[in-house]
Amino acid sequence: MATFVLIPGMCHGGWCFDELTGGLRDHGHRVHPLTLTGLGERAHLLRGGVNLDTHIQDVAGVLAAEDIRDAVLVGHSYGGMVITGVADRMPDRVTALVYVDAVVPGNGDSCWSLVSDRERQWYADVEETGHATRPLPFFDARATPHPIASLLQPLRLTGDPAQVRRRVYAYAAGWDGESPFTPVYRRLREDPSWTTHALDGGHNLMRDAPQDLLKILLDAVEPHAHPSSATAVIP
C-alpha cells in the first residue's frame, strides 16, 4: 500500500482528482487529494500573503500531521512547483514524484518564468483585490481565483531534486494549440533518470485520460504490475 498526495493546478481544488482518488483507493492505496490555501473550499483564506511557500507548507503539514513517510507526490500543472518544494524540504518522507503536465522547476524558477507568454497573459488577469488570477472561462464551475503571489514567487531549493529517485512525467499531447510543457517533456524523455509518458488528452488529463493516468500512478509504486500503454509519439 502506498500513500498518494494529490496537488491540483491553478484555480482547482482536490475535487479535480475525484475519479483518480476512487481508482487508487480501489487498488488499496491511501489517497489525500488536497486543496491549497486560498482555493476551493479554502477560498475564504485568500489574502495577499498566500504564496508558494504557503502551498508547500500546506502539503508538508499534511505529511507531518498524518505521519506519512512513503508519499507519492502528484502535482498537476502549477502543482509541480509545490511537490518539488515539498520533496526538497522533506526528502525522507517522499518516495516518488509524479508531474502531470506540470512545470518542473529548478532553484530560482517561478511558475511565471517557466510558462509561455500566453499563460503569463492569463496570469496577469488579476481580480479587483489584486490578490488572485481569475479562472479561465472554460474551467469547471467550482474553479476559484488563484493567488497571484504563488505564481510569481521563485522556488528556493536547498538540495538536489534527484535525491527522490523515482520521478515520472505524464505529458498531455492533445493541447488545443502549443503546449508550454512540450520543451519539458522533450528534455526529460532524454534523461534516463526520468520515466516519461505522452498521453492522448488535453491539459486536464484527470478528465481526458483518467484510466491511462491511473495506470501511470500505479506503475509508480508497482512498476511490473501495471504497465502504461497509452502513449503518443511527439517529435
Contact in structure between 56 and 64 (CB atoms under 8 Å) = no
Residue 127 above 60 pLDDT? Answer: yes
H or E segment at 186?
helix 182-188
Alpha carbons 7 and 78: distance in angstroms, whole number: 9
Reduced to 3 DSSP states, what percent helix, strand and coil does the chain have, rounded to the nearest 5?
A: 40, 15, 45
- What is the structure's pLDDT at 21? 98
Phi (first) and psi of residue 97, to 5 degrees = -125, 130
H or E segment at 21?
helix 18-26
Residue 226 above 80 pLDDT? Answer: no
- What is the structure's pLDDT at 223? 64
- What is the structure's pLDDT at 176? 86
- For 73-107, write each residue's pLDDT tens digit: 999 999 999 999 999 999 999 999 999 999 999 99
Residue 64 above 90 pLDDT? Answer: yes
- What is the structure's pLDDT at 161? 78
pLDDT band at 225, cuts 50/70/90? low
Percent of the chain with pLDDT over 70: 94
Contact in structure between 193 and 162 (CB atoms under 8 Å) = yes
- For 1-13, write each residue's pLDDT tens digit: 999 999 999 999 9
* Candidate from 34-38, 112-116, 187-191, 225-229 with smallest mean pLDDT: 225-229
Listed residue (110, 106, 107) closest to 153, CA to CA? 110
Hey, where are the domains in the chain? 3-221
CATH class for the region spanning 3-221: alpha beta
Contact in structure between 6 and 32 (CB atoms under 8 Å) = yes
Residue 177 above 60 pLDDT? Answer: yes
Catalytic residue among 77, 150, 179, 228: 77
- What is the structure's pLDDT at 87? 97
- What is the structure's pLDDT at 163? 85
- What is the structure's pLDDT at 230? 45
pLDDT band at 222, cuts 50/70/90? confident
What does the pLDDT average to over 159-180?
A: 91
- What is the structure's pLDDT at 162? 79
What contacts 30, CB < 8 A, 6 or more positions away?
1, 2, 3, 4
H or E segment at 199?
strand 194-199
Mean of pLDDT over the chain: 94
Query: What pTM, to 2 d.p., does this model score?
Result: 0.94
pLDDT band at 48, cuts 50/70/90? confident
- What is the structure's pLDDT at 224? 52
Is residue 179 among the annotated active site residues? Answer: no
Residue 113 above 90 pLDDT? Answer: yes
